[in-house]
């Protein structure tokens, strides 16, 4: 159940042509990563995904297992369409990912939620984020406009406070400075409280409380 009940879901805007099929495959391979099935043979892992009822993957591979609400046509269009041949090509694409191993294409959208090249991200900013919109009003917009990058924020705070990165991130030390860092990561680093907690060794509620003293809105 994990993320469904333990925090906000994550959504991404995807530049379809270069990334949609890769994102689809990455999501469909997730059960192998999170259920401890990596040690199985390639064929066993493939069969496991075909039968995994908590994923849309079976519906992409066979209309027999497809739920009525699933729209697989767009992704399968990259493989020849929603036909027997197209579904078999998608199956091969999945197996190739199992065999080679893949990195998450969603990393490209980390911080601002847009999966695409720099030009695509900039186009979204220019077309759909009006300058009059307040960053504080919509967290997703705040991330798109003002995302700096958590690594850079940690580096700058470390330099200005003359504290080593390890000391800033170590739980139980420098409470005031760590609270400031958490708030900067939230405002400008594109991280939610859960992500900040993971970075700094605390739970998400502690990360939320730590930065409250620095908020002026």
Range of the domain at 69: 3-107
| Structural domain contains residue 204 | yes
Q: Looking up tokens 């139980």, which residue turns up?
A: 172
Sign of torsion over alpha carbons 136, 140, 143, 146? negative
Q: Which of 107, 133, 161 is the last residue of a domain?
A: 107
| Structural domain contains residue 137 | no
For residues 21 and 103, membership in a common domain is answered with yes
Q: Report pLDDT for 9.
A: 57
| Structural domain contains residue 130 | no
For residues 175 and 91, membership in a common domain is answered with no
Cα 215 → chain centroid: 26
For residues 24 and 96, membership in a common domain is answered with yes
Q: Report pLDDT for 159.
A: 87
For residues 163 and 91, membership in a common domain is answered with no
For residues 97 and 29, membership in a common domain is answered with yes
| Structural domain contains residue 192 | yes
Whole-model pTM above 0.75?
no
- 72-126: pLDDT as tens digits: 999 999 999 999 999 999 999 999 999 998 888 888 777 667 888 878 877 877 7
DSSP structural state of residue 115: E
Q: Report pLDDT for 212.
A: 59
| Structural domain contains residue 143 | no
| Structural domain contains residue 115 | no
- 89-101: pLDDT as tens digits: 999 999 999 999 8
Q: Report pLDDT for 43.
A: 93
For residues 102 and 47, membership in a common domain is answered with yes
| Structural domain contains residue 132 | no
Q: Which of 74, 107, 140 is the last residue of a domain?
A: 107
Q: Report pLDDT for 217.
A: 39
Q: What is the DSSP string of 138-192?
A: -HHHHHHHH---HHHHHHHHHHHHT--HHHHHSTTS-HHHHHHHHHHHHHHS---
Q: Which of 44, 79, 107 is the last residue of a domain?
A: 107
For residues 69 and 153, membership in a common domain is answered with no
CATH number of the domain enclosing 192: 1.10.1750.10
> Can you give the pLDDT of all 217 residues of the chain as single tens digits?
444 554 455 677 888 878 899 999 999 999 998 888 888 999 999 999 999 999 999 999 999 999 999 999 999 999 999 999 999 999 999 999 999 988 888 887 776 678 888 788 778 777 766 554 444 445 555 555 455 678 888 888 888 888 888 888 887 767 788 888 888 888 777 777 788 888 888 876 777 776 555 554 3
Give the total number of structural domains in the chain. 2
| Structural domain contains residue 134 | no
């Amino acid at each position: 159940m994990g993320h469904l009940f333990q925090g906000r879901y994550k959504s991404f805007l995807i530049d379809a042509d270069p990334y949609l099929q890769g994102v689809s495959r990455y999501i469909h391979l997730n059960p192998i990563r999170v259920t401890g099935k990596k040690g199985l043979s390639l064929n066993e892992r493939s069969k496991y995904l075909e039968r995994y009822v908590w994923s849309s993957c079976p519906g992409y591979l066979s209309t027999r297992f497809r739920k009525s609400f699933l729209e697989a046509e767009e992704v399968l269009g990259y493989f020849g369409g929603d036909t027997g041949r197209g579904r078999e090509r998608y199956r091969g694409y999945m197996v190739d990912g199992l065999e080679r191993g893949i990195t998450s294409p969603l990393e490209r959208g980390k911080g601002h939620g847009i999966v695409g090249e720099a030009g695509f991200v900039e186009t979204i900013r220019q077309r759909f984020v009006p300058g009059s919109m307040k960053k504080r009003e919509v967290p997703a917009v705040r991330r798109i406009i003002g995302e700096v990058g958590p690594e850079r924020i940690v580096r700058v705070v470390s330099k200005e406070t003359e504290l080593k990165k390890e000391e800033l991130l170590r739980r139980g030390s420098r409470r005031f400075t760590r609270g400031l860092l958490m708030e900067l990561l939230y405002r400008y680093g594109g991280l939610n409280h859960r992500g900040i907690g993971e970075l700094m060794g605390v739970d998400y509620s502690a990360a939320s409380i730590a930065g409250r003293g620095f908020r002026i809105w």
